[in-house]
Amino acid sequence: MNTIKELIKVGSTRLAQCGSVSSRLDAEVLLASILDCPRITFYTDPSRTVSVEDAEEYQRRIDRRAALEPVAYIIGKKEFMGLTFKVSSDVLIPRPDTESLVEAILESVIPKIKQDTSHLRVLDLCTGSGAIGLTLKFFVSSAAVTLTDISDKALKVAEENAQALSISNITMVESDLFESLSPEEPFDLIVSNPPYIPDGVIPTLQKDIVDYEPMLALSGGVTGYDLYERITREAGLYLRKGGAIVLEVGNDQETRVAELLEKQGFRAITMVPDLTGAVRGVVAWKE
> Under the rule (CB under 6 A), what is the footprint of ligand GLN?
92, 95, 193-197, 209, 218
Shortest Cβ 188–ligand GLN spacing (Å): 23
Shortest Cβ 22–ligand GLN spacing (Å): 16
Shortest Cβ 170–ligand GLN spacing (Å): 21
200-284-266 Cα angle (round to 5): 100
Shortest Cβ 212–ligand GLN spacing (Å): 11
Shortest Cβ 197–ligand GLN spacing (Å): 5
Nearer to ligand GLN, 127 or 161 (CB): 127
Shortest Cβ 95–ligand GLN spacing (Å): 5
Nearer to ligand GLN, 98 or 146 (CB): 98
Nearer to ligand GLN, 228 or 238 (CB): 228
Q: Minimal CA–CA distance to 39: which of 54, 27, 22?
A: 27
Shortest Cβ 249–ligand GLN spacing (Å): 9
Q: Minimal CA–CA distance to 191: which of 134, 252, 253, 242?
A: 134
13-16-20 Cα angle (round to 5): 140
Nearer to ligand GLN, 8 or 93 (CB): 93
9-15-16 Cα angle (round to 5): 90
Nearer to ligand GLN, 28 or 248 (CB): 248
Q: What is the C-alpha to C-alpha distance for residues 191 and 200, in angstroms, rounded to an integer?
A: 26
Nearer to ligand GLN, 128 or 236 (CB): 128
> Which amino acid is present at 85?
F
Nearer to ligand GLN, 186 or 224 (CB): 224
